[in-house]
A and B are shown apart, each in its own frame.
Chain A
Amino acid sequence: MAASSEMTGTRIVWWSVVLLSLLAVESRAAEPQRVLMLHAFNYSFPATTLIADSARKQLLERSERPVEIDADFLDLARNTDADYESRITTFLRAKYGKRPPDVVITLGSAALPFIVKHRDEIAPNVPVVFTSVSQRNYDSLRIPPNITGIISEFNLDRTLALAERLQPEARRLFVIAGSGEVDRRWQANARKVIEDRARKFEVTYLFERSYAKLMEEVAAIPPDSIVIYLTIFADSEGNAFVPAHVAGPLSARSPAPVYAPYDTYIGNGVVGGYVETFESVGSRAADMALQILAGTDPATIAPQSNSGQAYRVDHRAMARWKLHASNLPPDTAVLFKKPTIWTEYRGVVIAAIAIVGLQSLVLGALLLQRQRRLRIEKLLKESEERMTFAASAANIGLWQFDRQRNELWATEHCRALFGIARGKPLTREVLLSAVHSDDLQTAAQALERSGEAGQPAFCDVRIVLPGEEVRWIRMRSRSRLEGDGRSDHLGGIFVDITEQKSAEAEIALQRLEVEHLMRVSVLGELSGSIAHEINQPLTAILSNAQAALYLLAQEAPDLVEIREALEEIVHEDDRAGEVIHRLRGLLKKGERKTEHVNINDLVRSTISLLNSELIGRDIDIKFNLENRPLLARGDSVQLQQVLLNLVMNAMDAMASTPLEQRSILISTRASETGTVDVLVKDRGHGINPKVNGRLFEPFYTTKDHGLGLGLALCSTIVEAHQGRLTLVNGEGGGAVAGFSLPVQKPAFGTA
């Protein structure tokens, strides 16, 4: 317990100390700290005012505790008499003696010697932060401890360098300074700086002039000169000036650009120079003052030179003397440049320009597109007109059909093709109503096909015109293929092919005519033999009849014999009739028929016509016919014609063959490939290999009196029967001509 009470006592003591210290801090915090701004000159002195403003701002912003700022103006430039200093010192002591400032900031170079001299009278040992004191000035004063500050460098050398850059051609240099204390320091400084420089100017020092005189001389400065204005605190007549205020009239009068090492002159007409900004001096002095207020011993804070120096120029002055910004050193601050929209609102401007640009682009693109569309529309229209014109010129009608909507679009020419009156609408129904009723099915099927397959389809249909005239129209159609492989959009053309159709019919007719003529001509060649074929039965008939008559005349007629004679007559008559029938078939003109043809029968009956011709030419004919009937489909007359031709060719080929060798072998067979083959083999001269390829050409002949149509026609006929005509040289001499037709399976029940 004893230990515990001891512990409690210690804790109380500890807490009391903490509380007291906190209270002390609190009491100090409650008491505002005082700063005195001591101006060397009066209020209208720009440099010091700027420094003071900047320092005040910084103090108020950065101080942790409340700061009370006072200012007093020593006005040392205007009051130079010896008593003045003691009077103002008394005034200040009276003013601040009871409540001395915590720190004094001097503004203007003259304020520092004053406070050094009179500090202890006003506020003993008060910490001082000075400003606007040159290194030389600082060195010349014996500064006691706890006085620190900012040493200013007014860099004439660099200011001159700026002038040289902006005016590389200038050869004359005018240096202006007044007659005050500071002015005279500058005079010496200037002479030294200029003499040290590498570049030698023709230098005129306008020092120690009266204000009026100076102005006169300034006005006479040649324009291609460089003018350096230092300071005029006082003229030779003792008049006091604010140097910054002199800068204005001076610059106004000077025909040549005026440069200066002071920031405050910038804005008053001078071009600019290498200057320290008074704002930076003020804020740095304030920082020092704050350190001191925070408790730092001022003796430990060394004076600093201002690093915030830079080239600064007045844009307006540059413009006035036509100096080029491009000659400025890098990092030059250009002041009073009326901020362009660009510099001020760079982002906004860029954005705006970008937007405007984009909009212009869009507009341009739209315009371009519109123009292009118009052009394409025009081209399209022209193209369509051309196409419509070409289509009607070619007697073609164009159409499109939307199956889903049942809508038809068709060119006007379709009216003419379908014979539709002008007032009537061109619809599917109207068009269909013009189609020949027999062809409606065909048309519908073709449309269906083209819609399904996406394939072009065509069909030929007849159109009945109002005058009952019939025209052939070919309808070509194609569908635009869509996803599901079926299309609702059909398009196509109508072409009038009536002339083509009639030409085709004409050609077919002509071909039939030619075929017929060829048959007639072949039969003409065979006329003797054919006559013989009829003559033989006639002979038999006559003789039989007469024999019968003789037999009847006998006393005891042999009736058996008579009967036989009569039977023979009937038989022979049939025979003659058969020949005539065959002949008529061959001589008949007619359309091609399609019937079942027994090829073996065809061979036999055809050769029977040639019988006596073969005998007459000493040609032996042999057959090697398939045992079972061979059926093909076709026109028997035409097939006979083919066979007749082949056999006649075989006979002709053997004209120079020795009699005992003349023979023709006709064979028929059913091939494994499903064809019926008929082969005619002769022992003639064979085929000359040179002419082999041309034998089926029309009007090509190897015979002396041939037309050259036989094989050409045979080939046409056989091909029309889906067959093939062949002609090759046989083994062991002679030629083998033949044709093969697709075999026709015998119908059930036929053998």
Chain B
Amino acid sequence: MTDTFTVYLVDDDAGVLKALSRLLRAKGYDVRPYSSPQLFLEEHDVTVPGCAVLDVSMPGLDGLELQRALTATNGFHRPVLFVTGKGDIPTSVRAMKAGAIDFLTKPVKDVDLFEAVSRAEARDAELRRLHSEMESIQAKVGTLTPREREVLTHVVAGRLNKQIAGDLGTVEKTIKVHRSRMMEKLGIRTVADLVRMAEKLNLTK
């Protein structure tokens, strides 16, 4: 795996923390162990690719609360997987619903852990890719003039040029110009691609 993937490990039990760190390091991961959620939150860097392996039951702030705290950070979803001694169903359901990669019970087998971590890694990569893609699209969208943005929303809504001209109180020809310039700025050739992009950006509605 890549050397850049970091596993943020949070467990209040020192022995477990050390052991899991050792295991993950042996597998080649960059491991950052934290004995308390607070310490972790203080040092957590969302820009670093990686995942969080959290204990559920911890004094102060438990795993699920920590998961929620992570989700709130910068709108970026850090992949989270749980390793717990008390794998009760309600807790696991809540964790999975909140987007956990996995809910592993202690003692955790290396394969299960590695499999989950690798999935987290893939997810993280995916998320990061999506994130950068969105960022580039948004950057491109940012270059549009207000008129071009208006045209964009109408096109995505499935309006014809004539209709758009009518809506905006201009002539079809002007709309065409705006449309071609907008498509060019966004680097999109087909309307289908434009709609897909708009969906990603949540601009369709």
Contact = CB atoms under 8 A, between A and B. Distances in A.
Whether chains A and B associate is yes
Contacts of B57: 532, 612, 615-616
A547 B107 contact: no
Nearest to B58: A615
Given A612-B57, A612-B85, A539 B25 contact: no
Given A535-B106, A536-B106, A612-B57, A547 B16 contact: no
A543 B23 contact: yes
Interface in A731-745: none
Residue of B26, B57, B58 contacting most chain A CB atoms (<10 Å): B26
A744 B58 CA distance: 39
Interface string A572-584: 1001000000000
Given A532-B57, A535-B107, A536-B106, A543 B22 contact: yes
B114 to A, nearest CB: 10
Contact of B23 (A528, A550, A615, A620): A550
Contact of B15 (A540, A551, A620): A540
B92 to A, nearest CB: 15
B19 A544 contact: yes
Interface string B9-45: 0001101101110110111000000000000000000
A547 B15 contact: no
A543 B13 contact: no
B15 A528 contact: no
Contact of A550 (B13, B16, B26, B106): B26
A642 to B, nearest CB: 26
A586 interface: no
A535 B85 contact: yes
A160 to B, nearest CB: 147
A532 B107 contact: no
A718 interface: no
B86 A568 contact: no
Given A543-B20, A620-B59, A536 B15 contact: yes
Contacts of A571: 15
A537 interface: yes
Contacts of B15: 536-537, 540, 568, 571-572, 575
A439 interface: no
Contacts of B26: 546-548, 550-551, 554, 561
Interface residues of A, number: 31
Interface residues of B, number: 23
B85 A543 contact: no
Interface in A529-559: 531-532, 535-544, 546-548, 550-551, 554
A711 interface: no
A541 B57 CA distance: 19
B22 A565 contact: yes
A538 B19 contact: no
A553 B205 CA distance: 55
B113 to A, nearest CB: 8
Contacts of B110: 543, 546, 550
A146 B49 CA distance: 193
Contacts of B83: 539
Closest 10 CB pairs of A and B: A543-B19, A550-B26, A539-B106, A540-B15, A547-B23, A540-B19, A547-B22, A539-B107, A546-B110, A542-B107
Interface of B: 12-13, 15-16, 18-20, 22-23, 25-27, 57-59, 83, 85-86, 106-110
13 contacts: A532-B85, A539-B13, A539-B16, A542-B107, A543-B23, A543-B110, A546-B26, A546-B110, A547-B23, A550-B23, A564-B22, A565-B19, A612-B86
